[in-house]
Chain A
Amino acid sequence: MANDREVLREIWDGRVPVCFQLDSSEVNGLQAPDPYYLMVPRLSYFPLVTDKVRRHFQRYIHPDKHDAEMWVDFNGQPLKWHYPIGVLFDLHIPEISLPWCLTIHFDKFPEAELLHCSSREAVESYFMSCIKEADVLKHRSQVVSNMQKKDHNQLWLGLQNDKFDQFWAVNRKLMEVGSDETFKYIPFRLYQGDEPFIQRLVKPVTEEGQRKTLFQFLQEIYAENASKVKVTTHGVEPPSDTPLQWMSEHLSYPDNFLHLCVAF
């Protein structure tokens, strides 16, 4: 069970400085708006933190576009709102110089690359479905389905309002292990550049019953290329002898998935 509070707290407190700028072609007026700086939690999602940004920039765009959906890009690459901010940051880490400068758009929504996010409810339903998927992998869905609606709400509100204790009071149950001290499978997603992420069934223990380390896990996925792989999560490179089960318990994002960014 995840009770290494020190690590959890460090992870939870991870924030990135972001500088939002309005796309210059969308400015409607003489004066370009000031950039808006914000510390955003790594574990959160963009639609949850950009309310103020939207309000700030709304004044400077064409009135017809006031109700249009806002989207964000970095270096001309649209950012997917349904990835946690930390994952997006880690994916672009080589190109980033702090603070992270992002461009805000209200026009020309890239339909081919982004999903529409109509409201916070869309984020919530996506978040909850991720949690359920992860629990199916970890406990054959026994924990989530036994939870009440109010527990689900508490998870969501804990994330939304950045309340560590509120969130972990419920998430602790999701990280509980069964009689064999491990999960059935480890819920993870491996990101590698622009390619779609890799997600496979991986058990947290080897066939001999030993706990897998991160390196063994990478060997399982990449075979002999494992030693060349550089894994980043939460902005750090976990040591290759870190047990996979421990990583899943402590380094998972709030959606209960391990989001690992891979580079060669």
Chain B
Amino acid sequence: MAASTTPVDGQFWRSTLILRLQNRNKSESYAFKDLIAFHNRLFESSNALRAENLQLSVQNEKLRLEHSASTDKASSDNSGNGSSKSPNRNEKVQVLEQKLLSLQEELTEMHRRKGENAQQLVDLNLKLQEKERQLQSKEASFSECQAENSSLKRDIQDYQTNIKKLENLNQIIRDEYQANQLAFAALEEKLRKTQDENRLLVERLVRYKSKDADKMNEDNENFLSGGSHNTTSSLLHTIDGLFSRKKQAKVQKELEDAAKESRAVSPESTFGDRGDLGANPFFASNVPSKAISKFEAHDQEINAVKWSSLERLVATGGADRKVKLWDISKGGQHESKGVLVGSNAAVMSIDFDSTGSLILGASNDFATRVWTVSDHRLRVISSEHSGNLRTFLCVEMGEREKRARGGFISRRFPLRAAPAGAATRCWSQLSPPPAAAGSSWVCRRRQSYVLSSVR
């Protein structure tokens, strides 16, 4: 293809190349080809001749040896037998004997081979028989397999027909179901219609009944008035009078109602009636103007006050490092219930737990303490706050997991806006809860925190 597609000017390089190749062959091979072929032939023939020469010389040597042997024999025979042909015959006999020997050897070899072949034949026969037996067994198994196959096929057919039957049955049942459904829908529709009709009828009946009753009433009244004025002229008058009286009564009633209402709502009447304060809803609450009880709780300023949630008990925390409990259940009197000591600096904030059995105080000594209310004993000290506790914004104690959580928040900021370093801190596992307060330690509220704030 390359040659055929090359353009005409391309032929130039091609012809140049061919010319060069031909020149090359001329100078490299044609010049030497015959010479070397001739050399090779000479070489071969000289080799052959040399080999032949060698063979001939060997033969020559052998013949010479034989000749010398035969001349020796001849000379010895000459003396004994005198016949010159005996060596020749002797030689012949020897050759024949040799031939015989070799033939015999061949014969024995053949015999041996025959025996071997017979043995092989027997072996092969045996093998053949075995193979046939195998074949038979294979055929038997094959036919068995076929039988099995056909029976399986029959089974499959059976199953298929079965399936078809069941499908038909299924179809029939479905059809029936559908028909029933349709019938049911129709019946339902009918039922609804009937109910509607029934309702209409009942309504109509009621209307008729009421109409009847009205008519009866009217008849009765007519009858009564008719009893006092027997004449027909007076009947008209009475009907007229009846209507007017009815109207009059109605108007009068309306007027009464209106008067009553205006009296109840009228502002002048309320302002005019100032003495009746208790009855007026606008003045239901009032600001206490007088203290029931007043007492000096602490030596120094009071920082925190908290009501117990259960008893009428008040706890106060003061700058004198004490938390005090007061019973104010007896009206104007106060009674000290106990002094809770332990803080090393001013108590800034306090709180009861939800059961009222524990009280928690946060102090300026960076610690928070928990006391039991019943025996005033200090239960827990936690001094994890590194800042200055100022106020508990809210304190709630006790929780499911028996731990209190606390956090700093700065004075007025909500918990979330607290600076990162003062974020809510968790006090893990304040302590094992005191035995006495064990049950009250658990709070029913879902979340509880001990929160304190720090500057």
- State the CA gap A6–B25 with chains docked (Å): 13
Contacting pair A235 B24 (CB below 8 A)? yes
Q: Can you list, as one digit per residue, whether each of A231-259 has a CB less than 8 Å from chain B (1) or not (0)?
A: 00011111101110110011000000000
Q: A10-B22, A37-B39 are in contact. Are A15 and B28 (CB under 8 A)?
A: yes
The answer to whether B29 touches A14 (Cβ under 8 A) is yes
B184 sits at the interface (CB 8 A): no
Min CB distance B15 to A, Å, is: 10
Chain A residue at smallest Cβ distance from B10: A243
Contacts of A14 in B (CB 8 A): 21, 24-25, 28-29
Chain A residue at minimum C-beta to C-beta distance from B2: A246
Out of A4, A13, A38, A234, name the residue touching B2 (CB < 8 Å).
A4
A177 B18 Cβ-Cβ under 8 A: no
A245-B13 in contact given A10-B22, A36-B43 (Cβ < 8 Å): no
Chain A hits for B18, CB < 8 A: 6-7, 10
Interface size of B by CB at 8 A reads: 31
Distance in angstroms from A33 CB to nearest chain B CB is 11
Determine which of B10, B21, B29 lies in contact with A39 in the assembled complex, contact meaning CB atoms within 8 Å: B29
The distance in angstroms between the C-alpha atoms of A260 and B112, with both chains bound, is 67
Q: Which residue of A lies closest to B5 (CB)?
A: A181
Contacts of B23 in A (CB 8 A): 236
Report whether B32 and A234 are in contact in the complex, using a CB–CB cutoff of 8 Å.
no
- Given the complex of chains A and B, what is the CA–CA distance between A38 and B32 in angstroms? 9
Asked if A241 contacts B13 (CB within 8 A), the reply is yes
With A15-B33, A99-B32, A239-B16 in contact, do A10 and B25 touch (Cβ < 8 Å)?
yes
Tell me the complex Cα distance, A238–B217, Å. Answer: 143
Please name the residue on chain A nearest to B15 by beta carbon: A239
The CA of A98 and the CA of B3, in the complex, are separated in Å by 33
Q: Is A16 located at the chain interface by the 8 A CB criterion?
A: yes
Q: Is the CB of A98 within 8 A of B39?
A: no
Q: Any chain B CB within 8 A of the CB of A11? A: yes
A7-B14 in contact (CB<8A): yes
Render A199-227 as a binary contact track against B, CB cut-off 8 A, 1 for contact: 00000000000000000000000000000
The size of the chain A interface, using a CB distance under 8 A, is 36
B390 to chain A minimum Cβ distance, whole angstroms, is: 84
Are the C-beta atoms of B21 and A249 separated by less than 8 Å?
A: no
CB contacts (< 8 Å) of B27 on chain A: these are 98
Asked whether, in the complex, the Cβ of A13 is within 8 Å of the Cβ of B29, the reply is: yes
A178 at interface, CB cutoff 8 A: no
Min distance, Cβ A46 to any Cβ of chain B, angstroms: 17
With the chains together, A6 CA to B1 CA distance in Å? 13
A18, B3: Cα distance in complex, Å: 33
A17 within 8 A of B: yes
**Complex partner residue of A249 from B2, B33, B39, B40, CB under 8 angstroms:** B2
- The residue of chain B having its C-beta at the shortest distance from the C-beta of A41 within the complex is B29
Q: Are B28 and A236 within 8 A (Cβ)?
A: no
**In the complex, are the beta carbons of A1 and B1 less than 8 A apart?**
yes
Tell me whether A37 and B21 are in contact (CB under 8 A): no
Q: How far is the CB of A247 from chain B (nearest CB, A)?
A: 9
Q: Is the CB of A98 within 8 A of B32?
A: yes
Q: In whole Å, how far is B10's beta carbon from the nearest beta carbon of chain A?
A: 7
Residues of A within 8 Å of B33, CB to CB, are 15, 17, 39
Given A39-B33, A242-B17, also A177-B24 (CB < 8 A): no
Neighbouring B residues of A16 by C-beta, 8 Å: 28-29
Closest chain B residue, CB of each to CB of A238: B17
A17 to B32, CA, bound (A): 6
Minimum distance in angstroms from B18 CB to a CB of chain A: 6
Interface residues of A in 155-198 (CB under 8 A from B): 177, 181
Interface string of A96-113 (1 = CB under 8 A from B): 001100000000000000
Cβ contacts B74-109/A at 8 Å (1 or 0 each)? 000000000000000000000000000000000000
Q: Which of A3, A7, A38 contacts B4 (CB 8 A)?
A: A3
Q: Is the CB of B17 within 8 A of A7?
A: yes
Tell whether, in the assembled complex, residue A246 and residue B3 are in contact, meaning their CB atoms are under 8 Å apart. Answer: yes
Inter-chain CA distance A87–B72, complex, in Å, is 69
Chain B residues within an 8 Å CB radius of A181:
1, 5
The answer to whether the Cβ of A72 comes within 8 Å of any Cβ in the partner chain is no
B36 at the interface (CB under 8 A from A): yes
Contact with B along A1-39 (1 / 0, CB 8 A): 111101100110111110000000000000000101111
Q: How far is the CB of B45 from chain A (nearest CB, A)?
A: 14
| Mask of B32-51 contacts with A, CB within 8 angstroms, 1/0 | 11011101100100000000
Beta-carbon nearest neighbor of B29 in chain A: A15
CB <8 Å contact, A10 and B21: yes
Quick check: is B20 within 8 A (CB to CB) of the other chain? yes
Q: Please, how many angstroms separate the alpha-carbon atoms of A13 and B22 in the complex?
A: 10
CB distance from A57 to the nearest CB of B (A): 12
Query: Contact: A7 with B32, CB < 8 Å?
Result: no
A7 to B22, CA, bound (A): 10
Further 18 A-B residue pairs, CB within 8 A, beyond A56-B43, A243-B10, A245-B2: A1-B2, A3-B2, A7-B14, A7-B18, A10-B18, A14-B21, A14-B29, A15-B28, A39-B29, A98-B31, A98-B32, A181-B1, A235-B28, A236-B20, A236-B23, A239-B13, A243-B2, A249-B2
The 6 closest A-B pairs by CB, nearest first: A17-B32, A4-B3, A239-B13, A236-B20, A15-B29, A1-B1
* CB pairs A–B below 8 angstroms (29 shown): A2-B2, A3-B1, A6-B18, A7-B14, A10-B21, A11-B21, A15-B29, A17-B28, A17-B35, A34-B43, A37-B35, A37-B36, A37-B39, A38-B40, A39-B33, A39-B37, A98-B32, A234-B24, A235-B21, A236-B21, A236-B23, A236-B24, A237-B20, A238-B13, A239-B13, A242-B13, A242-B17, A246-B3, A246-B6
